[in-house]
Structure 1
């Protein structure tokens, strides 16, 4: 059965970078997946009255914003289409509309029909962050963040952030397709961040991966004065990791996202592709 990846594209108020097309295609090529790209366009309810029409010309401003959003969506889909054609990737595209407050919900609901969800990431793009958080907590699917600042490389070295928790175990299961393609897997346990459920938990996971035919090792690190998200990414990059796999901690209180420390650290300063699973 062929895998299907969903790429959610932000259009308003901050549009995704066109670089996400190349990165998404490069990634799905590696896992031999089909790609479905969806632009989430804004649909602003008309709440104008006679006074606002006279003073602000509100209907025109709404039309202008919606037109800008639709143009951004079409431009992004065109860029993805061109990249997919060059890369020989099977692609389908779609445009969805939603009020500004519900764009994340629409993206999350749509993402439930796919195997893995892709989101482009730029530090200043709050719309992309909103979509990523909504998809992570609301889709029930793994969410793969692709930083716009770099090209997606061959994901040959997968690094697993492991603390023995349910969400970490879920992330490992969701990353199976990437683990099977990896030439090396490193299990990293941070020992000074919180109590862990026993000794040698990283080596226990690494042993299980080796029994499944993977090349895997376990290491323990200390975060020290760094945030756990920073420590994990710095170590992953230090050992040549191309993909970081970790559980996404936190929950949503009616779209008010409350994030765990590790997840917040990753989202605040993304340095390499990260697969988050809730």
Structure 2
């Protein structure tokens, strides 16, 4: 009789084969060069392997963890985000159609992670039709030198026009406020820093990052 681990491993193999088949089909349609690699390992080791490989690429794309399914795969996306050393584009389960980030929102709090995300997203921001800087509780969290206004000036030097929306929200309402604004503004993508705890607990995301991964409705480019 197959063990739970063996059954989960078999399901993971099936999901991997299906995902690779879709990827190969779309890559051929787009007429782009590509390569495929399947990693068979324990979840933690697999996440480390993918995270290490991601350091050699400009962008890593992962699927939003599915909290409705008790799967080892759920930990993989978040671990890749922590280990990639670069931008990770997280695609929500409900997302359909082609990814065209014409309207982009920057979740700005003046932090190192947010600044890293903006730098990583620069190629996409440069090609966007509209860029909205979303500042929440700025007086409480953002250093004066890294204010939203100064970010807008910095973006302007790269000829990226931005508009600013300032929000005030309680801690528990930050993530819902961001997603509500994304819907109201018709945003195609969010850019935001990803936050972990200390090295001992860095696998546990805190606050807004964890909530966003659980309930996201638009693709998000995150950098840790």
TM over 0.5: yes
Residue of structure 2 in register with 1:42 after alignment = none
Residue of structure 1 in register with 2:221 after alignment = 275
Instruction: Return the offset for 1:69.
Output: 3.4
C-alpha separation between the residues in 2 aligned to 1:242 and 1:63? 39
1:112-153 deviation digits (Å, cap 9, x = unpaired): 121111001244255443122111111211111011212244
| Aligned pairs, number | 221
Q: Which has the higher strand share?
A: 1
Residue of structure 1 in register with 2:68 after alignment = 124
- 8 Å Cα contact 2:196/2:206 also seen in 1: yes
* SS of the residue 2:77 aligns to: helix
* SS of the residue 1:189 aligns to: strand
* SS of the residue 2:216 aligns to: coil
Residue of structure 1 in register with 2:45 after alignment = 102
2:122 equivalent to 1:176: yes
Residue of structure 2 in register with 1:44 after alignment = none
Instruction: Return the offset for 1:250.
Output: 1.0
- What does 1:71-90 align with in structure 2 at a 5 Å threshold? 71-90=14-33
Instruction: Return the offset for 1:103.
Output: 2.5
Residue of structure 2 in register with 1:139 after alignment = 84
Instruction: Return the offset for 1:104.
Output: 1.8
**1:184 and 1:63, CA in 2 relative to 1: closer, same or farther beyond 3 A?**
closer
TM-score (norm 1): 0.71
- What does 1:82-231 align with in structure 2 at a 5 Å threshold? 82-121=25-64, 122-125=66-69, 126-151=71-96, 152-191=98-137, 194-198=140-144, 201-224=147-170, 226-231=172-177
C-alpha separation between the residues in 1 aligned to 2:140 and 2:72? 31
* SS of the residue 1:93 aligns to: coil
Q: Which runs of 5+ in 1 are unaligned?
A: 1-55
* SS of the residue 1:102 aligns to: helix
Residue of structure 2 in register with 1:250 after alignment = 196
**1:276 and 1:198, CA in 2 relative to 1: closer, same or farther beyond 3 A?**
same
C-alpha separation between the residues in 2 aligned to 1:232 and 1:193? 17
TM-score (norm 2): 0.86
Instruction: Return the offset for 1:101.
Output: 3.7
* SS of the residue 2:150 aligns to: helix
- 8 Å Cα contact 1:160/1:244 also seen in 2: yes
Q: Which has the higher helix share?
A: 2
